[in-house]
Structure 1
Amino acid sequence: MSFVQLKDVVKKYDNRISVDHLNLTIREGEVFGLLGPNGAGKSTTIKMLSGLLKIDQGDILVGGKSVAKYPMEVKRNLGLVPQDLAIYENLTAQENVTFFAKLYGLRGKLLKERVEESLAFVGLLDRASDKPSSFSGGMKRRLNIACAIMHQPKLIIMDEPTVGIDPQSRNHILDSVRELNRMGSTILYTSHYMEEVSAISTRVGIMDHGHLIACGTQEELRNQVSQDNKIVLQITNLTDQAVKELREYPLIKQLNANDQTLELIVSASQSYLQDILFILSKHQVKIQSLTQVEPDLEALFLSLTGRTLRD
């Protein structure tokens, strides 16, 4: 069942189109990973979805409600974890979460319960009386999440929630995403760390130049494009003649070699491996091991956009 729908959404800045007739569906109960290089239109899309930026054309529906027509109703069911920290350094952790909870109309016993539950969820209940100025970067990020989830939103948008933090804090946040999803929240997650999106996403969308250029499960995305394969061989007795013949083999796009390792980038084909082994055997190259590396999300992204995620 669709929970978020973007229908022919357009956003312009002066004469520049940032989001160009974007159509996107996020299903209820999934973790949707949104990828794109800088300038692809991700942040603009998130701002429009959150009601922070006016839509120039098209419509966005959240739970069947138009963001443009019913902004307050949509926002009540939405939690935003922005890339730039939205916390107050001069308030305690408890006061920060309480402030945002009151904005959502929580009062009395329910307010107190939700504040404690949110701080406990992100592992900061024992630091409730401390100010964020004494927190590490990872702890501030976790407090940022607590401020966004205390009203138990149906949709949680996480925009680069692990920027600039240590690996332990990153793992804690990723575990939190999985748990929030298990508890019933639909999550839109953006990151410059491809491995994060790969690890937690039900489906992935890739944006470039304001368009959605690919969308689906990781397996579906791999099947949409022809992928190169990487082969790593541990070898001995590699001769110049063997290297010359391998370079002439039409399916090998790239070759890197030293005395012990041979790395090949090969165009996808069912028959290349047998041919490569035959060439090596003919020149009496001894193979200690062979590893075929499956195309990953990073390779897919590079194939679709011509850029790496951090470009």
Structure 2
Amino acid sequence: MSFGISAKTRKLLKQHNIVLKKSLGQNFLTDAHVLQHIVDAADLDEESGVIEIGPGLGALTEGLAKQARKVVAIELDNRLIPVLQDMFADQPNVEIIHADALKFDFAQLITEKFGACSQVHVVANLPYYVTSPILVKLLESSLSLTNIVVMIQKEVADRILAKPGSKTYGSLSVFAQYFSEPSKVVQVPSHVFVPRPQVDSMVIKLSIRTVAPVPVENESFFFQVVRASFAKRRKTLLNSLSSSLPFHMEKTRLEQVIHSIGIDPNCRGEMLSMNSFAQLSNVLLRERDGG
């Protein structure tokens, strides 16, 4: 399978007078082995649909199009649209859309474009500065997705994959692991990008859950409690919640409530499992609502 910035692509860039912009997070992957890892991790078949966010120069798009029934590539940089359209002019299963993924209606896209597909996957090489907002948007929108395969900054990937008790475990870990089962695909060194970024990257796969992993009575409140628990990482769970809960609660009562479900109020939020956060949010919700 041919990947990378090909002679054809270079010719198109020159033809369209395009200079790559680092300010747009345009660090294009050129390593064929990593690109193949991404395609393989998506686990596509001839009935699959793929939403690709940030196709850039189309190297990954080319590989996805050979495996999937339909690929819709969403690109923010309008200068790259004619390049991509020229590249895939003879491939009817590839559609290029000029749009901002942060403002895009993915649910409508899935309804309109992927009705004939058995599964829909998201594959993305995200600019570092929009990684978390786009992942949050994709995960909390209840989209009909099978998985998300994404290349992101290694530091963010480590946080998503982190387990309770580790220094990188935080609210993003709980959020991602609530909606999906994350796994590492491959670590990607900075030298395989053009232009070269200052940090390493990692490809991870988020297998979307169809059932919540823990019993949560109010999902929105659950995440408010999680964020409050990590709001002051150096402080105890009791002190962090006392100053950051979305409703007022006397500290002595809060301590009693935490104790009542077998959690040490003097531990830190990073020690709590997702199940503990679920228990904590459910009991605090009842306290808030007077139950």
Settle same-fold status: TM greater than 0.5: no
Name the structure where helix makes up a greater proportion of residues: 2
Larger-Rg structure: 1
RCO greater where, 1 or 2, for CA within 8 Å and sep 6 or more? 1
Which structure: greater strand fraction? 1
TM-score if structure 2 supplies the norm length? 0.30
